């Protein structure tokens, strides 16, 4: 675990050193849980967004896009339930003065019991060797059973407390199981209080009578309030979806783990409108499709898992998360929710406008049900960076840091490097770069030794380095070096476009999603 934390610290430092992520307004010492994306970060982020966007609107004829404003009429948030119910239970430690989410403290406690169980099983597996039956051991070993019983007891109290919104019981669980503040090490806790996560501001001058408005905490409501506009103008037939990418804002209590939990972040959401009664079938379909989208990136299938929600949000009748194995454990990257007709019905009620769909096949009108897929751009970015960051010990005794990013998402697709800064090599390199730059993000670099230049490109995840040498001038060939294997190959210049094009095309990923 300590080793993983160490890797995470190195990753955060790497993100800054190589222009991926900077703390916001750093010259003023930064702003908690707000980050800026640098020259390489923004390219990676844009590629992630394109991969998601095209996987929605290119691969599905019945999914169209939208770009709604961040500011929305304040009644939107009353109707959506966010004014009344978008709260986190918070608790303070009186000694450290640190604030925590009570539910997160209890989830961490549950994870500790899971760890204890796994450690017992691992120890026994080592002791018994090949004949070891892990399932039987879990069912019979006294120590495992004790841990499991304790975990189940905490879990059932926790779920009940969440569902009953019983804040006193949340605190009681923390007290009963001796949860201590990680900073002060004490159990000196305040009561648990609810805290609304929406940021608000004023629109219009006070003299005119200004209006309190909110920065949207999710992009989804922009889709719901435009449902009719899109359905009518696009002549959309149910089932159909609306996809949107945009900023969302939450006044998170616990700001930690870098870009995992931010106060300003970006979501990629898709609301899929279906006939009532068919929502579970679509929920299952979208779960499968979304998992394929993640796995197609090739970061390792074992790094993903589903996690069903213990407590359903106020709008959902089924919900699951796609979790990714971050350096700090399995964490939610995407949520898939069956939101019933809660949002559309509520907007109907608050706006007084009918948002019904006339289904010609059934010859009846109804308020559509909704399956939502909601993924954070920043968390996806973090998962990809974490899985790609690699420290390698080379045979020659040197070491290198390499970002093994999926080639399709890499900020720079190829670097063009003249071996030396003379003899017409820079001119030849420029000529090659000019022929490729319309299709691929290229970088030209002539400074330092070729080895140093390779290392710089490894560190930002550039999948291909093209080196121009004296032979290139006579036979029009170059050396292409592959980032992950460091193997080199001599290829004719006219082959470069096809060779690189194939490797960085999103098409290969899309095929994996639809197959």
Nearest of 329, 307, 327, 308 to residue 115 by alpha carbon: 329
Binding mask 345-374 for ligand GAP (x = CB under 6 A): ---------------------------x-x
Q: Which range in 44-52, 185-193, 375-383, 462-470 contacts ligand GAP by CB under 6 A?
A: 375-383
For residue 10, the minimal CB distance to ligand GAP (Å) is 21
Of the candidates 216, 220, 161, 217, the one whose C-alpha atom is nearest the C-alpha of residue 194 is: 161
Q: What mask of x and - would describe binding to ligand GAP in positions 402 to 441, judged by CB under 6 A?
A: ----------------------------------------
Counting beta carbons within 10 angstroms of the beta carbon of residue 441, is it exposed (0 to 12), middle (13 to 18) or buried (19 or more)? Answer: middle
Binding to ligand GAP (CB under 6 A): which residues in 207-226?
A: 218, 220
Asked if 333 is part of the footprint of ligand GAP (rule: CB under 6 A), the reply reads yes
- 323: left (phi > 0), else alpha (psi -120 to 50), else beta? beta
Count of residues that bind ligand GAP according to CB under 6 A: 19
How far lies 407's CA from each of 48, 278, 386, in Å? 12, 38, 15
Nearer to ligand GAP, 268 or 433 (CB): 268
From the list 91, 238, 262, 299, which residue makes contact with ligand GAP (rule: CB under 6 A)?
262
Q: Binding of ligand GAP at residue 267 (CB under 6 A)?
A: yes
Stretch that binds ligand GAP, among 91-99, 260-268, 303-311, 464-472 (CB under 6 A): 260-268
* Contact flags string 282-301 toward ligand GAP, x per CB under 6 A: --------------------
Query: Which residue's CB is nearer to ligand GAP, number 196 or number 508?
Result: 196
**Nearest to ligand GAP of 343, 445 (CB atom):** 343
CB of 465 to ligand GAP, least distance (A): 33
Give the DSSP letter string of 48-115. Answer: HHHHHHHHHHTT-TTEEEE---SB--THHHHHTTHHHH-EEEEEEBTTT--EEEHHHHHHHHHHHHHH
Q: With binding defined as CB under 6 A, does residue 381 bind ligand GAP?
A: no
What is the Cα–Cα distance from 133 to 112, expressed in whole angstroms? 23
41 binds ligand GAP (CB under 6 A): no
Residue 274, burial from CB neighbour count under 10 angstroms (0-12, 13-18, 19+)? buried
Beta strands in 328-411 (DSSP E): 329-338, 357-359, 364-366, 369-376, 389-393, 399-403
What phi and psi, each to the nearest 5 degrees, are found at residue 375?
A: -125, 140
Q: Which is nearer to ligand GAP, 162 or 465 (CB)?
A: 162
Minimum distance, C-beta of residue 300 to ligand GAP, in the bound complex (Å):
19
How do 240-249 and 63-66 pair as beta strands?
A: parallel
**Site for ligand GAP, rule CB under 6 A:** 218, 220, 250, 252, 261-262, 265, 267, 269, 332-335, 372, 374-376, 378-379
């Amino acid at each position: 675990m300590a080793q993983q934390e160490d890797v995470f610290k190195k990753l955060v430092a790497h993100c800054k050193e190589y222009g991926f992520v900077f703390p916001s307004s750093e010259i003023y010492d930064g702003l908690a849980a707000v980050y800026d994306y640098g020259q390489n970060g923004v390219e990676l982020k844009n590629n992630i967004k394109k991969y998601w966007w095209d996987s929605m609107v290119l691969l599905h004829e019945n999914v169209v896009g939208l770009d709604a404003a961040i500011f929305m009429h304040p009644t939107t948030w009353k109707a959506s339930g966010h004014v009344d119910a978008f709260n986190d239970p918070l608790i303070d430690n009186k000694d450290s003065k640190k604030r925590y989410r009570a539910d997160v403290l209890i989830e961490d406690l549950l994870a500790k019991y899971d760890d204890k169980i796994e450690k017992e099983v691992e120890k026994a597996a080592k002791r018994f060797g090949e004949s070891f039956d892990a399932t039987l051991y879990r069912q019979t070993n006294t120590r495992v059973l004790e841990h499991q019983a304790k975990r189940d007891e905490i879990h059932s109290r926790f779920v009940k407390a969440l569902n009953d919104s019983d804040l006193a019981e949340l605190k009681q669980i923390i007290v009963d199981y001796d949860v201590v503040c990680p900073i002060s090490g004490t159990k000196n806790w305040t009561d648990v209080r609810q805290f609304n996560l929406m940021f608000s501001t004023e629109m219009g001058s006070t003299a005119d009578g200004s209006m309190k408005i909110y920065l949207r905490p999710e992009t989804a409501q922009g889709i719901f309030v435009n449902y009719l506009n899109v359905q009518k103008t696009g002549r959309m037939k149910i089932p159909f979806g609306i996809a949107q990418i945009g900023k969302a804002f939450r006044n998170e209590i616990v700001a930690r783990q870098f870009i995992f939990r931010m106060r300003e972040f970006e979501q990629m959401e898709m609301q899929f409108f279906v006939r009532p009664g068919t929502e579970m079938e679509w929920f299952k379909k979208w779960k499968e499709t979304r998992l394929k989208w993640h796995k197609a990136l090739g970061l390792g299938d074992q790094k993903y898992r589903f996690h069903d929600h213990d407590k359903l949000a106020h709008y959902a009748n089924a919900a699951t998360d796609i979790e990714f194995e971050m350096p700090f454990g399995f964490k939610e990257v995407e949520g898939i929710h069956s939101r019933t007709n809660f949002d559309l019905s509520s907007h109907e009620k608050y706006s007084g406008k009918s948002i019904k769909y006339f289904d010609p096949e059934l010859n009846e009108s109804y308020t559509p049900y909704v399956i939502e897929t909601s993924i954070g751009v920043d968390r996806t970015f973090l998962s990809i960076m974490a899985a790609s960051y690699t420290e390698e010990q080379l045979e020659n005794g040197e070491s290198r840091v390499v970002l093994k990013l999926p080639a399709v998402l890499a900020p720079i697709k190829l670097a063009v490097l003249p071996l030396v800064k003379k003899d017409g090599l820079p001119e030849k390199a420029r000529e090659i770069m000019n022929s490729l730059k319309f299709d691929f993000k290229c970088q030209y670099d002539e400074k330092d030794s070729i080895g140093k230049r390779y290392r710089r490109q490894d560190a930002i995840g550039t999948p291909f380095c093209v080196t121009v040498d004296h032979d290139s001038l006579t036979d029009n060939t170059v050396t292409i070096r592959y980032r992950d294997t460091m193997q080199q190959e001599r290829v004719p210049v006219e082959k470069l476009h096809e060779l690189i094009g194939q490797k960085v095309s999103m098409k290969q990923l899309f095929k994996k999603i639809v197959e």
